[in-house]
Amino acid sequence: MSEVSLPAIRSLPSWLLGRAAARGRALVAAALAEQDMRMWHHVVLSAVRDLAPVAQADLGRGVGLDPKDLVGILNDLQAASLVVREPDPKDRRKNAVSLTARGARLLTRCEKAARAANDELLAPLSEAEREQFTGMLLRISGAADTP
């Protein structure tokens, strides 16, 4: 079907947001791939930096990953010496995850690459439009209500 045959669907904000999100994910994924990083690995690495030391279970809940998926990602990150898992000082039955110096350096490069990809995504917008658009996305996503 050609694009012209679906004007009702293609004019829906939800469809347009989905298309924009898919383009954004593709741009960021490509930028992260240049740093030998995958999207979920980047998310987890960033969350570890922000929350560390963080219990593995809390980390999984924080990023919305199933525990078995999180374990696989943490195994990858630990094997690459990007994070360490040690007994949680608050509860020795749990693992606490922290970023290594190498992980911090890679995360800095990944964040720069992700920002550049987002700049490419938002290139058609002026700076004021970008701020307004981001504010609107926060409101409709419910993220503006989150502390």
Q: Compute mean pLDDT per 10 residues along the chain, 147 residues long, and list them.
A: 69 92 97 96 96 90 93 96 90 89 97 97 97 94 70
Question: Closest Cα partner for 42 from 76, 67, 88, 68?
Answer: 76
* Residue 114 exposed, middle or buried by CB count within 10 Å (0-12, 13-18, 19+): buried
Question: What pLDDT, on a 0 to 100 scale, did the predictor assign at position 92?
Answer: 80
pLDDT at 1: 45
Dist. CA 7–CA 49, nearest whole Å: 44
Decide if 41 is inside a domain: yes
Between CA 39 and CA 62 the distance in angstroms is 16
Domain enclosing residue 45, as ranges: 19-116
Q: What is the pLDDT of residue 147?
A: 53
- CA–CA distance, 98 with 45 (Å, rounded to integer): 9
Asked whether residue 65 is assigned to any structural domain, the reply reads yes
Q: What is the pLDDT of residue 28?
A: 97
CATH number of the CATH domain containing 79: 1.10.10.10
| 20-49 b/e (C-beta count within 10 Å ≥ 16 → b) | eeeebeebbeebbeebebeeebbebbbbbb
Q: Is residue 139 part of a domain?
A: no
